[in-house]
A and B are shown apart, each in its own frame.
Chain A
């Protein structure tokens, strides 16, 4: 156990008597995987683990726990989700206790699997700027900066923007060096026809499970989503790439200017479809039009939540 994790446990132990539950992580079925931990007792607390392998954005559980006293372990990017949830009044600040941790990057499990050529992973050891992966064929040492989540390469908030307690043990600088090409970069360099072919090919294997939607902390109408409503019957249920892409467009539009690019949608997709890029593309427009980034300031109002007679960057009157 790292010193970081030890301190975190100590902090939570102090606060636990005042809280109904604390959201944290523990190891999953192997050391490459992680699973959320719902701490209510000292005994639970002993299972807590944290580090670059624990990637899930726990803030996704907060709206369903509204009204209860909840503690949550939070990295920089997760804090942006919390801020967005506060802005949308889906949670109440007084009920949330934030245990902030500084972060030097979260590991992208798919990138690790790719890097070890898909060999069956037996164990993983993260060690500063490298990780050692033991598979059924041997041992691989990977550079951390080659296997991070896309969002880590452009991260500007390794430290949570809001927090009640802070574990400062890591002094490690932000690891990412040269970012690998992201899906958005690749899409940018394509002609519209190529782009269409790209999505058609990827959507072909979408199984319409909606893990992308259910993992999204800001997709708040899950149980009455337009994708599955029978009456009105908004969406054709056929399994064509066209219909499947239609849902992705809906998700992207419904989260435009709210999405903090936490990457949960893409991480959750069991078919490895790069669905984050669509949201990033829309956020880029939001930034350009409204000079706004989601989840940075709990006091501000998301641009699509308000109406101005004249937007500064949309010159509709001039165009006439």
Chain B
């Protein structure tokens, strides 16, 4: 039996302050005109109304992570040997993400299969993952760019969350979904609210009824793959793209990185920073050869990875959660929904043609 509590809107800030002693709390707040996930600070307020421009992914995959620090020393006498000292820097400390949306929480499970799966276990990632608690806010409306419902999610989906908040008048019903969530709800800030469970359920049902009935992007992986060598199609699709990568940096499911050594004198650090497949350097090889030389190749990868390659490797789960951030923040308004729909259409047409 899961626990339910009621959190008054005005109690959120005090609760997060209380949590700040034990956790680094990340919450959506304004930064200039932009809403981003940032370290909670009562002075910045919390923005529960808008979908943040940046996703909550930095809780698990920070834009810049130090993998280790190093220091080189040379012996004073010949033969001048160089020795390197390494200092590992595993992330420590608990993190609480407050106000993730259902799409954000689901996206984290997309990372899990890659960074904490059977084939590879990334110690930095798993350390952060084990120390992270996700408090998700069910959406009370879909933005015009939202399409979680078309990629296997929904505006009230609880997948990947430790606590789900359902907005009611004057506050939120908080329901624990995991042990981590149960622990959180022990706070005295909350009022007991097992009786409000039904009301929360009704509110979520009402939200689901508002979701338009529209086609889904599930099960298209083979279909999309059949377009792989149709470079003309990808050329046309990527025409307007500036290859900037804003879409991938703001995507809650994009997880690619770069590794560099940043030396200052005889010491330095090896860091892992966000990288993205829309950038021409992404596949640039040491020889100078680039297997994805044009933006068409890169767009094919971005869409292919999310809607075809990843689902083929991971039980048909799409690597897009439909948050729409890549659409609303793209400087040329590139719409991934259109691109996928066109690709499916094109692939269908090609198949029919083959049967003629």
B-binding residues in A (CB < 8 A): 28-30, 33-36, 38, 56, 60, 110, 113-114, 118, 120-122, 136, 202, 204-205, 207-211, 213-215, 222-223, 228, 230, 233, 236-239, 264, 267-268, 270-273
- The residue of chain A having its C-beta at the shortest distance from the C-beta of B268 within the complex is A236
Closest A residue to B272 using CB positions = A237
A207 pairs with B262, CB closer than 8 A: no
- Nearest first, the 10 A-B pairs at minimum CB distance are A28-B333, A268-B331, A214-B244, A211-B244, A239-B64, A270-B329, A35-B333, A214-B242, A223-B280, A211-B246
- Cross-chain contact B63 with A208 (CB below 8 angstroms): yes
The smallest C-beta distance from B338 to any residue of chain A, in angstroms, reads 8
Our pick among A36, A202, A230 for the contact of B260 (Cβ within 8 Å) is A230
Does B239 interact with chain A (Cβ within 8 Å)? yes
Bound complex: CA A90 to CA B245 (Å): 24
Q: Is B274 an interface residue (CB 8 A)?
A: yes
| B contact residues vs A (CB 8 Å cutoff) | 31-34, 36, 38, 49-50, 53-54, 63-64, 141, 143-145, 239-240, 242-246, 249-250, 258, 260, 262, 271, 273-274, 276, 279-281, 327, 329, 331-335
Could you say which residues of chain B place their CB within 8 Å of the CB of A264? 331
* Chain A residue with Cβ nearest B36: A205
B263 to nearest A CB, angstroms?
A: 9
Q: How far is the CB of A209 from chain B (nearest CB, A)?
A: 4
By a CB distance below 8 angstroms, the chain A residues around B329 are 270
Quick check: A272 and B32 within 8 Å, CB to CB? yes
Determine if A29 and B242 form an interchain contact, defined as CB atoms under 8 angstroms apart: no
- Which residues from chain A contact B31 at a C-beta distance below 8 Å? 204-205, 271
Q: Is the interface of A mostly helix, strand, loop or mixed?
A: loop
A29 and B271 contact, Cβ closer than 8 Å, known pairs A56-B332, A210-B245: no
| Cβ-defined partner of B54 (8 Å) among A207, A210, A223, A230 | A207
Q: Decide yes or no: A268 and B246 within 8 Å by CB, A29-B145, A30-B144, A237-B271 being known contacts.
A: yes
Q: How far is the CA of A29 from the CA of B271 in the complex (A)?
A: 38
Complex alpha-carbon distance, A96 and B333, angstroms: 25
**Chain B residues closer than 8 Å to A211, beta-carbon distance:** 242, 244-246, 331
Q: Determine which of A36, A237, A273 lies in contact with B240 in the assembled complex, contact meaning CB atoms within 8 Å.
A: A36
